[in-house]
């Protein structure tokens, strides 16, 4: 049975192939999942790079330090595996686990308007960064925002007061001068 690839707008990037590993065609993968080896739960990957797409099937994988080492079906040559570096690893959104009510995937937060407790619009969430202490929300100015400053806000309970996906808003307790 052949599975058809998901539409491009339904795909979520969960990692990227960074280089080769060994001589048997294995690849090193940087995973965006938490924990890192959750990426190995997905057997069918859509690989994307610069407008190019290809399907891959994961045969096996293992955690090695802070990267994964993956074996893809039909990829047995080191030099051919080297050409896979730079591909993003994508899976359909529908395959992601359902989260609790107060949990969100990063892709769900991107694009939300960020508003402080006094109703001032800081901008929209451009992306998030993973740091050692806590994740950081990168807020870029937009039409109608308070000013033209980019802000970095901690993704913590103290800062993020509410998220309303339906309204496209995140309410934060954050000083406008930070």
Q: Domain coordinates of the chain in residue numbers?
A: 8-95, 106-172
Q: How far apart are CA 137 and CA 151, in angstroms?
A: 8
Q: Where residue 101 falls among pLDDT bands split at 50, 70, 90? A: confident
Q: Is residue 170 over pLDDT 50?
A: yes
Q: Is the separation of the CB atoms in 168 and 153 below 8 Å?
A: no
Supply the CATH classification number for the domain 8-95: 2.40.30.60
Q: Is the separation of the CB atoms in 113 and 168 below 8 Å?
A: yes
Instruction: Tell me what the mean pLDDT of segment 73-102 comes to.
Output: 94
Phi and psi for 146 in degrees, rounded to 5? -55, -40
Q: Give the per-residue pLDDT at 4.
A: 47
Supply the CATH classification number for the domain 106-172: 2.30.30.240
- For the record, the structure tokens of 46 come out as 């859509």
- Is 106-172 in the same CATH topology as 8-95? no
Q: How far apart are CA 68 and CA 26, in angstroms?
A: 10
Q: Give the per-residue pLDDT at 1.
A: 33
Q: Give the per-residue pLDDT at 9.
A: 64
Where do the DSSP E strands lie in the chain? 11-21, 26-31, 44-49, 52-64, 67-72, 88-92, 113-116, 121-129, 136-140, 151-154, 160-164, 169-172
Instruction: Tell me what the mean pLDDT of segment 26-43 comes to.
Output: 94
Provide the mean pLDDT of the chain: 92
The pLDDT tens digits for 76-90 are 999 999 999 999 999
């Amino acid at each position: 049975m052949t599975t058809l690839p998901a539409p491009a707008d339904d795909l979520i990037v969960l990692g990227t192939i960074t280089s080769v590993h060994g001589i048997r065609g294995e690849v090193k993968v940087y995973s965006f999942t938490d924990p890192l080896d959750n990426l190995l739960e997905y057997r069918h990957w859509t690989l994307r790079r610069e407008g190019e797409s290809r399907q891959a099937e994961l045969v096996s994988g293992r955690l090695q330090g802070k990267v994964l080492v993956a074996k893809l079906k039909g990829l047995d040559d080191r030099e051919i595996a080297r050409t896979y570096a730079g591909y993003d690893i994508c899976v359909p959104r529908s395959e992601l686990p359902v989260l609790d009510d107060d949990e969100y995937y990063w892709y769900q937060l991107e694009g939300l308007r960020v508003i402080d407790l006094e109703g001032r619009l800081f901008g929209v969430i451009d992306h998030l960064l993973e740091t050692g202490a806590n994740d950081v929300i990168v807020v870029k100015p937009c039409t109608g925002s308070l000013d033209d400053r980019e802000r970095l806000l901690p993704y913590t309970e103290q800062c993020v007061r509410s998220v309303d996906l339906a309204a496209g808003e995140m309410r934060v307790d954050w000083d406008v001068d930070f």
